């Protein structure tokens, strides 16, 4: 079973509540003990004083052996001083006079407990002497009512003070709990948001408690550093993505013409064939080769040849749809991927547009115009090839047939004719 952990607020309540309550309890107990001791001494002194007063008041009655008068005096004293009983013993220890209250013992249970526990001496004896002659003894016994009354009132006051002490101790405990709770809740909320949501934008306000305020400012500084580092990492990641995208584009592009290169064309051709298989559609490839590229390189230099290739790429791009792919395979060889197409007529239509675009001469240098004659080979998937390698090879064979037939034209792949030419 998982252990139940104590909360900080519960510990704080105990730290504040119990010392305050214990202090008040000890203080109240000490006060009660001092008061009780003082009252006991006062009661014993009062009982002794009553006994001496009785001895003085009954001295004459004892001397004249007037028992009736002595009894009357004792009765008045018992009633006035709230005594349980008072007795005068003569010199021979016989009872000369006696009086007692109607209770005949402690007036209530509290007084009886006090008397039995011996909290104070409830009997006092005082000698009666006259001119050095011993005439008798006055014995007075209290009923404990004073102490019983004090005990009841003291207990009532003690319990009331204890309740007030508990309530008073809870007030600062609650106040401290609420004060700590708000600031700790802010700290915990900030840490939770960072852990669960990755949110490092929150900041803590200033706290009243110095320690919490210092901790909050440390949190703010830490989150500020993390946020700055995250921003720096995001910037670096963005820069790396840009570089990667640039490198990816460079890896897939011909650096001279800006068209797709052989790698890019191969990937796109494989995807187009896969999609055509799934949709039972057709795609076409046009294999294009320049008819006079070697002569231009030899007569005008490589810079002129590069300018020629760039211009050819630009014209090819303008002769096809936006969705079609134009690529440079290498040297003066270009290829066009048409996806989808309806059939051979669509390929022938695009080839005618390419031938028309190449019909315009290109001025390489001042007063020097060259012709951009091209030979085109066409192949259709899946009628003439069942994969990308076979499709590109078929278009290449058709292009060579176009060159043998006089260049500047387009030929559709014919397995019978092109196979025979390949053998020769």
The set of catalytic residues is 332
Task: Tell whether omega for the bond before 382 is within 30 degrees of 0, i.e. cis.
Answer: yes
User: What does the buried/exposed string (b/e) look like for 196-210 if buried means 16 or more CB atoms within 10 Å of the residue's CB?
Assistant: eeeebebebeebeee
**In contact, 49 and 70? CB cutoff 8 Å:** no
**In contact, 173 and 21? CB cutoff 8 Å:** no
* Phi-psi domain of 367 (left: phi exceeds 0; alpha: psi -120 through 50; beta: other): left
* Three-class DSSP labels, the chain: CCCCCCCHHHHHHHHHHHHHHHHHHHHHHHHHHHHHHHHHHHHHHHHHHHHHHHHHHCHHHHHCCCHHHHHHHHHHHHHHHCEEEEEEEECCCCEEEEEECCCCCCCCHHHHHHHHHCCCCCEEEEEEEECCEEEEEEEEEECCHHHHHHHHHHHHHHHHHHHHHHHHHHHHHHHHHHHHHHHHHHHHHHHHHHHHHCCCCCCCCCCCCHHHHHHHHHHHHHHHHHHHHHHHHHHHHHHHHHHHHHHHHHHHECCCCCCECHHHHHHHHHHHHHHHHHHCCEEEEEEEEECCHHHHHHHHCHHHHHHHHHHHHHHHHHHCCCCCEEEEEECCEEEEEEEEECCHHHHHHHHHHHHHHHCCCEEEECCEEECCCEEEEEEEECCCCCCHHHHHHHHHHHHHHHHHCCCCCEEECCHHHHHHHHHC
Distances (CA, A) of 187 to 146, 204, 331: 61, 7, 68
């Amino acid at each position: 079973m998982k252990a139940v952990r104590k909360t900080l607020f519960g510990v704080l309540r105990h730290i504040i509540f119990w010392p305050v309550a214990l202090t008040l309890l000890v203080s109240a107990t000490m006060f009660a003990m001092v008061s009780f001791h003082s009252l006991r001494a006062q009661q014993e002194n009062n009982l002794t004083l009553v006994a001496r007063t009785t001895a003085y008041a009954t001295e004459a009655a004892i001397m004249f052996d007037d028992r009736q008068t002595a009894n009357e005096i004792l009765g008045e004293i018992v009633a006035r001083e709230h005594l349980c009983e008072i007795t005068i013993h003569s010199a021979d220890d016989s009872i000369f006079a006696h009086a007692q209250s109607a209770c005949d013992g402690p007036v209530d249970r509290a007084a009886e407990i006090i008397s039995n526990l011996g909290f104070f001496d409830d009997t006092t004896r005082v000698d009666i002497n006259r001119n050095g002659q011993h005439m008798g003894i006055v014995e007075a016994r209290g009923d404990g009512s004073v102490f019983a009354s004090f005990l009841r009132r003291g207990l009532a006051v003690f319990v009331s003070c204890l309740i007030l002490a508990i309530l008073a101790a809870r007030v600062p405990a609650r106040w401290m709990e609420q004060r700590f709770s708000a600031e700790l809740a802010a700290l915990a909320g900030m840490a939770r948001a960072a852990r669960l949501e990755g949110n490092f934008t929150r900041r803590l306000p200033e706290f009243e408690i110095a320690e919490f305020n210092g901790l909050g400012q440390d949190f703010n500084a830490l989150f500020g550093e993390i946020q700055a580092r995250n921003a720096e990492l995001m910037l670096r990641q963005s820069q790396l993505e840009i570089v990667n995208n640039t490198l990816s584009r460079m890896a897939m592009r011909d650096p001279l013409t800006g068209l797709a290169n052989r790698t890019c064309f191969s990937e796109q051709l494989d995807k187009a064939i896969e999609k055509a298989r799934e949709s039972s559609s057709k795609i076409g490839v046009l294999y294009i080769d320049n008819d006079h590229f070697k002569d231009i390189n030899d007569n005008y230099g490589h810079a002129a040849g590069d300018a020629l290739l760039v211009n050819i790429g630009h014209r090819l791009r303008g002769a096809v749809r936006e969705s079609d792919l134009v690529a440079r395979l290498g040297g003066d060889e270009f290829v066009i991927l048409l996806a989808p197409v309806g059939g051979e007529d669509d390929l022938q239509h695009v080839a005618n547009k390419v031938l028309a675009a190449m019909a315009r001469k290109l001025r390489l240098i001042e007063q020097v115009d060259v012709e951009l004659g091209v030979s085109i080979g066409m192949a259709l998937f899946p009628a003439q090839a069942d994969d990308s390698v076979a499709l590109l090879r078929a278009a290449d064979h058709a292009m060579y047939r176009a060159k043998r037939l006089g260049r500047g034209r387009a030929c559709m792949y014919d397995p019978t004719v092109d196979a025979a030419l390949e053998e020769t």
